Every structure is written in C-alpha cells, then in structure tokens.
Structure 1
C-alpha cells in the first residue's frame, strides 16, 4: 500500500477522488459504498447484502409505491431505510438493530407492501383466511403509531390496515375485521386473545414484523409471541414449487460467502427490529428467522474502535488557539488534519490564526458555494493545505483519506454530530485521534460524551469529565434554563 504522501501525490495526477455524492450510481466503486455505509453508520452482514439506497429515485421499489413515498413527503431515506428496504425487497429475513425514531416503520412497511402487491387480491373467497401481513408491537401507543404510518402507504394502494390492541372492545375490533384486512398491527396479548376466541385466523399470513422485540420480551410477552408465531402457516403453501435452489450466504457485505441449497418455495418473510439483543430475543430469532441479514445502525459510527478520543477543558478563544497550536506543532500528527467549529465566523477566525502561525489552512462552511467547497477539499487531498477548518453543515460530505487528527475546537451540539465528526479519522481500519475542547457551556452533551468515550476500547474518560456534575445524568435545555434562573435568583 502506498504511504499517505504517495497517495496524495497520486491525487494530483487525476485519480478519481470525488465523494460518492458527486458520482452517478454506475460509477460507484466498492470504496465509495464502504464510505457511504460509514457516512450513515450502516453495518450489514449475512452474505450477499445488496447496496444501500442512495436515493428513492435509484431504488427498485415498484413505481406505484414510489409515487406514494413521494406523496407522503419522504425526501431522503433514513439510514435504516437505506439498507433495510433493498434487503426487504429480496424477501429476505432481517434482524435490524436500531433505536426508536430511526424511521423503522417505513423500512419494513415499504418491502411489506411490495410483497403484498404480488399476492392475489383479496376476494370474498379468501378474506376470512386472515391477513397477508402481521406487525407486532409492545404497546398500544406504538401499534397505533405504526397503524397511522402504515395507512399513509397502504390506503392509496387499496390495502386495509386494522389494529388489534388492548383497551378497545373486542367486539369493535371484530367489526373492523368483517371485511378482512391485508395488514394487521397488534399487541401480543390482545392478538393471542383474539386468536383463542377464533375471531381471527392466520392461515395466509406470509409477512411478519416484530417491532421493538426487546421491549415485547421485557414486558413479559415472550410466551404470547411464541403462541402467535406457532399459529402461522407452514413455510410453503399448497401446490408451491418446493424444489431446491442455490444461494450465497455468510461473509460480510457479500464477501467470502458460501453456496448453500435452500428450499425454493419458502414464502414467509420475518423481520425483527430491536434496540438490543437480549437472550430471549436471540432465541426468537434463531427459532423463527431463516438465514437473516443483520443490519446495525449507528453503533456510534463504528469509529469508536479506531479513534482515540481525548477531551480537554479549555475556556476562551485565546487559550483554545494556544492549545491548538501546541498540539499541531508537537509534530505528532501528520497532515491532513480537520478542525471542527460551530459557526462560519469562527471557522474564518481559526483559519486566520492558523495562517498567521505558518500553517496552510482551507475552510469549508455554508458561506461557500459548491465549487469553493470542492476546491477546499481538493487542496487538503493534494497536500496544498495541511488543515481544513469546517462546520457541521459542510462536514457531511468530507471524505479525505488518512486524516490523522480531528480537533473539535468547539464541541458539537449533539452526540450524533460529534460521532460523525470523529469518524472523519480512523477510517478504513486505520488509527486516528480526536481531541475535543470542552467548556462548561457544553453541559447538555457531557453525559452522552462520557458514555460515548467509555464505549471505546482505545479511549479513557478523563477525570474532569467523569466527575463533572453535568456528566452524571442527561441535562435538558429546560433543566439548564431552570438552573440558570435559580442562579440569577
């Protein structure tokens, strides 16, 4: 492998250094896909993982469904949608490890509707055989939230969603089911009750989603879940082709897999989402999912293992400037180096300070047009500039190889932005360092920052942060306002 200097010289000779966001789909190389997944904190394994979605327009979602996505107003796919939808469209079982609020509902509803669209339309002959798809959720509130979201997509396509949850009369739910429904959203306890009373059967249920499986188990629904899953029809429907076919499995992102034979007629798809994987959820997955693709979103950008995170309490611009120059002049960190700030005026000020100190610095912020931004990045890649001073607004598309150091001159406002910043170094398996200047004004993110650093095997939480009052528990804006008011009072 050429050393970083050689690589940067090569960049001058016209090697394609464009970020993936500037390339058409057909020009994406494996390296671009790796950076794409890093940028959205997507990790996927299970063999033959399809490329994630760059945009809705480039997806293989059926046209009528894409039109609904557009009408619903989904502009950009979320990270979980980018990877789960292409896998879901292959009718593969999925385990998704993702937090609440990550856009999971559309991530399973879109492939589910594509699947239902390929099934025979509901007629009087088959309505009574039950739904084609079943979504299980731990609480009534979540089930109703999913129902609202699912309806936005399902209704324009002519499909019916009905929820079966506790707190409503069984008679009312029985009435809602009289016409049949392609999709049922339910809490496990109430669904078990309805199945035992023979109000509903699951004879043709082919698509199962378990959302927030860890919470369902935590709330004591494991036995109900097993009861429901055992009521599902066998893997194949009568008269289906049950011959064998070969598929690739194993390996990460499609690498190093093996060819195995699977039964062609497998028509049930099971998707399980969970923020964590306690033993009970693993047991469920092992029993009911077949060779699932496993997607993990946002394990702190996975930068944690390769980036040593350091924190220093430094107050005031003069002291910050001195400390930044001390670090840079130590000779420990070869360029390219990135310095992150929160406002464009701070970026210009820091770049000026660096230039006065003999460093060659470029800036990247919202005050620059696309051409100027590209020129700044290019000057860093070719070695014309040693340091890039950037704001978060411009930070999303930064892809520069071999960044040895990230300095957070100002701490990011959220832990997600911090994780994204430090992920600019320690990429592609290399080691990197991130040094963050903290002040007492950063108290809203101190708790999260402490948690983040403690997850890293190569970093140590400094005493001053570990013992800081604001790092003991989450500080919300309201708490901060009240505390400031008390101080004034």
Structure 2
C-alpha cells in the first residue's frame, strides 16, 4: 500500500525536528561545559585568596605578640615628635651666657688682675688703640733693665759707643718723632699746617660734611683760622657766633675763592651767614659806591621767596656789616614801590629782594644790574614752587654774561678779573633747581650737610593718626599741656588759618595768624608779637614754613599735613634751631594718603616712631604714581 503525500510530509517534518533537537542539545551541552569550567576556576582562586589572608592575619598576630613581649621586657620606644624650626631661628646666635661661664670673675686668673682699658681715641689717633709712644718707652726701659742685670753678673762689658747709642735711643723715645706724633693726637689738638688728609677726612666725618664734584679747598675749623678780615671777625664776635656751623665751615672758604656753590643743609643751620660773609668780603675789595657808579646798580643781589625772609636776611646782613661802609637795601611786596624805588636809585651795595618786586623795579628803570656779579638764591626751590621761575631767570639774564667763569674747571682764572659768583641755598633741592644750576652756574661745588632733605636730629617727630573731627580736641589738649611754650600751628590755606585763629582766641588763648592774605603791616606785626612773646601761639600757612628764624619755638604742630614732604621738612624746621631741641607733632588723616609713603620713609631715616596705622596702610608701601607687581587677571 502506497503512502500518501500527507504522510510523507509528516515524516519529513519529524525528521527535521529531530535533527534540530539534536543540534540544540549538542549546542547546549557545549555551552554548559564552558560555563562550568569558568565557575570551577573562580572557586579555586577564591579559596586560594582566603588561605593567603588567613596566613597574613596569623603572621600579624604573631608579630603583635612579639612586640608585646619586647615592650614588657625592654620598655616602649616612643618616636620623637619632629619640630619644624625656621631658618632664621635655627641660625640665631645666643649672646647670653651664664655667670659661671664668665672667666673674668675669677680672682685667681692672672689675665684679669690688671685689665687694659680701651683708649678714648681708639681708631682716631692711635693705631688699634695702642699708644706707640708709651710702647717705645717701655721697650727701651725693659732693654736697659735686662742689660743692667746681665752686666751685674759680669756677662757684658758695655762699650762707649754702645752707651752713646743707648742714650740716643732713650732720648728719641722720650721726644717721639713728629711723624708718630701726628698719629697720636686728635685733629683738634693740631695746628693747621700739621693737618693731614686723614685728619681732614675725620674732620668732615665729625661734622657730617660731604661734597659733590671736585674740591681742593679744605673747610675752616674756627673763625680764627678763616681768611675773613678783622672787621668781619669783630662783627662775628659781636653777633654771638662762637663757633662756625658745619655749613659755614664748608661754604665760607669756597665763597672766599669765588666758587659757585649749591648748599644743602638742614633748617636753622646758619645758611644766611654762610653766604653773607663771603659776599661782604667780595664787596669790601670793590670801589666804594659813589655818584659815578651808583647808576650801574648794586654789587650783589639776594633773592628770597617771602617778604619776611628777605627782611630777616637784611637784618642779618646789617648786623654783620656793622664795621664796614656797606649800604644794604631791601625791596619787597606790600609796600610803596615808589618809595622803595627811590631808595634803590640812591645807590646801594647789596640789594635784597623778592623776585616779583625786583622785576617791577627793573621794568620801571629804578635800577639796573650792570655791575652785579654776586647773586644769591636763598630757598631756591621754594621760589620755583611758588611760580617765580620766570622772574628768577629774568633777573639772572639781566646781569652781564661776559664775566661768567670758564666751563673748563682746570682753566686758570684771571686774578685781575671779577667773575660772577652764584650761590643757591636750600634745605632740599628739586630737579628744576638742578636745571637752573646747569644753565647759570659754572662748575658748582655741591656742599651737603647731613642728609639732603632730612630734618635735624634735634627735632623729635611724633605722628598721630586720627579722624578729621578729632583734630580740634587734640589741639586744645596739647595747648593746655604746654601753655607756657611758643607753638606754631600750620594749616594748608588762609581760610583754615582765620577760622582756627578765631576759635582759639575765643577759647582764651593768646594767638595770632600769619598768611598771604594779610597786609605787610599786619604780617610784620604778627611776627613781631610772636617773637616778643606777646602771643604764644602762631597759626600760619606755609608762608612761615621757609627760612624764618623765630627763636625759642618749642613745638610745631602740623594741624594739616602738607601735600609735599619737602614742605613738611621746612615746617618742622621752625623748631630745634641753633642747637636747641624741639618737638614736631603731625595730625594725620586718611585724606593725606598722597604723602604716606614719603612720610614713612622720613620717619624711618630719622629713627622716629612710625604709627602702626601708617605702617600697615597700603599707600605707605608704594611710592605715589607707581603700580606694584600684581598677579595677572584671568577672564
């Protein structure tokens, strides 16, 4: 019986399913076998790691037991704590020692039974502080003593020539030759001709005198050794100048040789006499002023920035020209120019003026400067600051330029010819003055006393940080504490001076004011009243900050801090003058940051106390106009 197609198809599908089932079973067995192998490897690795960890724990436990046994029998070894020491602390040397280490206290030590005292002239007269003269004498005596002992024992028979040589040696030791003598005494004990270059160097160091540019003239040690005339020496003695000040020691010998000088010295150091005495010596050698030559103008001109300073220079000049037939005239603003012009036209040897008034007299033909060969610019930098530079240049240009010294310093000067001599004096020197000196001066010698721009050490500087509202109470407290002393209170403008003066006057204080808004008569009256102690408080602007010599000013108060450190130097210089001590107090506020840096540097140089508020302020760490280094900014 034949099978149908349907049965055939069923049989074919069964065979196909059977084949697929076999394939699936074979494929499944293979996958299972691979997975079982991986699991067995993982299980073996896990067991191995657990065994290693178990061994490590047992080893650690064994080590802990050993450490416990060591600690029980040997003690615990604690590690030292590391202390971090700064390099500055590590290298610091301890100068203190215990009293037991001082061997000089041992009375039995023969080294300290007769200690040697250091000489007062150590390094200044003796070499290493040893007196060579005494050493020579002692050596000669010891040698003689040894020879006498040997002679007594019969060991030496002294010959006549040896005895003569010994006597000569002892005499030389007693007399001490001149070259050694120069090394033994101070310069103050030597005659002028015995001074050596080493002595002059020590002399300049003692008085803090220094020079810039070449100089070949030594300073003078006393008035007696100067080349001043007997009439000027009598005037100096009459004026009460016992010993010359350092600026006078250095500048007067140079001025007598007609050298151009730039003088920088602290306020109150005697700069006026330093240029007046050479000027009087120069004029005394010229023909006297007569009808024939008075129309040619004065012999010398002195320019000052303020009227009060010009009048002060006039008083000093008249006092020193007491025994000389020299006429002195001053012309300043605030007075009748016709009257002053008439006095000048009558002839004078020395003309003392402010720049503006002198230009007025020259323009109105009251005087000329045809024979003026001696010019002094006192407080030159102040004249430039006040805007007088054009007037100063006009005055210098009005003088004859045919008598200028040659620019070559080594060129020989004609003794028969009169050369122009130019002086510039100030407590500070600005760049504008240096440019002026380059044009109108010939090979000037710059004389510096102390440090340029630094106030004298006789002034005690005290700076107090405060608020603006605290100034008045601080001022009143200070004035009540020192009511018997003369006090100058500086402010920055006229309005503040009048307000503060009226306020103090209503409070019962004896006060006067001084500023540029007052007439000349009022200014002179205020100054005279303060000098004569009619008033003990002077409220002033910077008009009184330059050059004025007011004796016995005990205190200066900067009620308002000036905007420039140079003006601060001049203000506090109104006290501590002529060798006397003084105190300068400054009220500082946060509105004065422009001067913080310069003020801090000046206090440090003067070894004065710097307030912590000023020291920490950012404005005191960098000079105004400079930008400190800062890290770059990233966007």
Which TM class, normalised by the smaller chain length? 0.5 to 0.7
Alignment of 1:354-369 (within 5 A): none
Which has the larger share of helix? 2
Cα deviation digits, residues 101-152 of structure 1 (max 9, x gap):
2101110010001100111111110111110000000000100000000011
Correspondence for 1:267 among 399, 407, 419: 419
Verify: 1:218 aligned to 2:385, yes or no: yes
Which residue of structure 1 aligns with residue 266 of structure 2? 99
Structure 2 residue matching 1:43: 3-state secondary structure: strand
Task: Tell me which residue corresponds to 1:43.
Answer: 210
Q: Paired residue for 1:79, among 225, 242, 246?
A: 246
Seen in structure 2, the aligned counterparts of structure 1 residues 115 and 446 have a Cα distance that, compared at 3 Å, is: same
What TM-score, normalized to structure 1? 0.57
Indicate the residue corresponding to 2:361 in structure 1: 194
Instruction: Give the structure 2 partner of residue 289 of structure 1.
Output: 441
Corresponding residue for residue 604 of structure 2: 454
Q: Which has the higher contact order (CA 8 A, sep 6+)?
A: 1
- For 1:181 and 1:58, how far apart are their aligned partners in 2? 31
Partner of 2:535: none
After TM superposition, give the deviation of residue 155 of structure 1 in Å. Answer: 3.9
Residues 38-437 of structure 1: pairs in structure 2 closer than 5 A: 38-236=205-403, 249=409, 259-260=410-411, 265=417, 267-299=419-451
- CA 1:51–1:261: 2 relative to 1, 3 Å: closer
Please say if residues 446 and 470 of structure 1, whose CA atoms lie closer than 8 Å, have aligned partners that are also in contact: no
Give the Cα–Cα distance (whole angstroms) in 1 for the partners of residues 310 and 278 of structure 2.
Answer: 18
Whole-angstrom CA distance in 1 between matches of 2:391 and 2:442? 21
Q: Identify if the C-alpha distance between structure 1 residues 56 and 260 changes in structure 2 by more than 3 Å, giving closer, same or farther.
A: same
Task: Report how many residues are paired.
Answer: 310
2 CA distance for matches of 1:445 and 1:216? 25
Secondary structure class of the residue paired with 1:235:
coil
For 1:301 and 1:123, how far apart are their aligned partners in 2? 43
CA offsets per residue over residues 61-84 of structure 1, 9 Å max, x none?
Answer: 122221221222211111110110
Secondary structure of 1:112 counterpart? helix
Which entry has the higher C-alpha Rg, 1 or 2? Answer: 2
Q: Is the 8 A contact 2:376 2:422 kept in 1?
A: yes
Deviation at 1:449, TM superposition (A): 11
Deviation, 1:235, is 2.9
SS of aligned partner of 1:208: strand
Are 1:466 and 2:610 an aligned pair? yes
Give structure 1 stretches of 5+ with no counterpart.
250-258, 303-413, 415-442, 473-489
For residues 444-469 of structure 1, give each alpha carbon's deviation from its aligned partner in whole angstroms, at most 9, with x where no partner exists.
6899997567349xxxx89xx53457
> How far, CA to CA, are the matches of 1:204 and 1:290 in structure 2?
19
Task: Kindly report structure 1 stretches of 4+ aligned residues shifted beyond 3 Å.
Answer: 9-15, 259-266, 443-456, 465-472
Preserved contact between residue 38 and residue 301 of structure 1 (Cα < 8 Å): no
Asked if the contact 1:42–1:83 (Cα under 8 Å) also holds between the matched residues in 2, the reply is: yes
Verify the 8 A CA contact 1:235 1:266 in the aligned structure 2.
no
